[in-house]
A and B are shown apart, each in its own frame.
Chain A
Amino acid sequence: MLNEVLLRFAEWLDTHAWSTALHESYYMYSWVESTHVLTLALFFGMLVVIDLRMLGRAFTSVPASVIARRLDTPMLIGFAVMVVSGLLLVYAVPVRTTNSIWFRMKMVFFVAAGINALLFRNRMKAAVDTWDNDPIPPRRIRTGAGVSLALWSCVVASGRLMAYDWYDCHQNLPYFMYWVAGCVDEMAAFE
């Protein structure tokens, strides 16, 4: 049901003249994709610095709250541009993206990383006074930072793997894989 709705929505987006124009524009599409990667460097780069501090692997002589507070704004600027450019990339190639297992995994990791970031932030704010100057933060903070790095790395990895067509709908796949990728027509052929 959800697969059907998502596919119909993607097909509707695909009928837009702007979607086709963006997809077929060599320079525009390439620049949007380059912007996506370069702002990812800003977002992920700041995240790495913050998480390495929380892991006690960098900036150990600087209070953790200073690193987190000061790098928050550039990280969020990078995040905002990255999301907008990402949405444009989906808009340019809606059907293949919707039916990409890697894209779907990316979205799952993205949501999980977002939830972890919210929990991590609250946990950090609640107890920062007790360990702010410690070179190595408490275990629960290090765990949160490690999970954050792992989840965002998975977001990056699954985004990069979207370029490969190993599990695209046109491939010969088991029913479960078609279901995960949302290949509605291929699933119907099984029934």
Chain B
Amino acid sequence: MDVFAFFEWLDASWLASISKAYGGTFAVVQVFHLLAMLTLGGMVITGDLRLLGVLLKDVPSEVVIDNTQKWINVALVALIASGIFMASAVAIKLYYNSFFWAKMTSLVFGIFFVYAIRRPLLRYDHGSINPWTLRLVAVASMTIWFVVAASGRWIGFS
């Protein structure tokens, strides 16, 4: 698959014509991207620190995971939608940016981790899961999302 062709297509798409022509629209979408990232961060931290037994110890971890997962879904949809719009403005530049690829790789891994590992595993009664497995899932989750956020921030510095 020719990845560069996709970036060329994105660069010439109607989305790109909007994001390049209207700096104000781009900035507003960027703000929503940041707010979605902060919401995702808050939900991930709350859920994972509960799994580690640091936060909300008097609330069942199943309740915490269930409540945070809903908002993780919402935040991820907002992040991806706003991210595609932002990427369209500088598609070719991003193709050559190492931090962009670091973010995309960790983001894909993060989504896979949430929906293929974390969520299916945590649907079971947490009491029946080895506590070290829960801790491992929590640390892995926070590490992955930290890398996504940090590499995303460093796109702007590179």
Q: Which residues of A contact B (CB under 8 A)?
A: 26, 30, 33-34, 37-38, 40-42, 44-49, 52, 58-59, 61-62, 66-67, 70-71, 74, 153, 156-157, 160-161, 164, 166
Contacts and interface: CB of A to CB of B under 8 A. Distances in A.
Chain B binding site: helix, strand, loop or mixed by DSSP? Answer: helix
Contact of B67 (A41, A42, A44, A59): A59
B31 A156 contact: yes
A107 to B, nearest CB: 17
B52 to A, nearest CB: 12
A48 B39 contact: yes
A156 B42 contact: no
Interface of B: 23, 27, 30-31, 34-35, 37-39, 41-46, 49, 55-59, 63-64, 67-68, 70-71, 146, 149-150, 153-154, 157
B42 A48 contact: yes
Given A45-B45, A48-B38, A58 B71 contact: yes
Nearest to B146: A38
A157 B157 CA distance: 19
A32 to B, nearest CB: 12
B38 A45 contact: yes
Contact of B27 (A48, A52, A161): A161
Given A46-B42, A156-B34, A34 B150 contact: yes
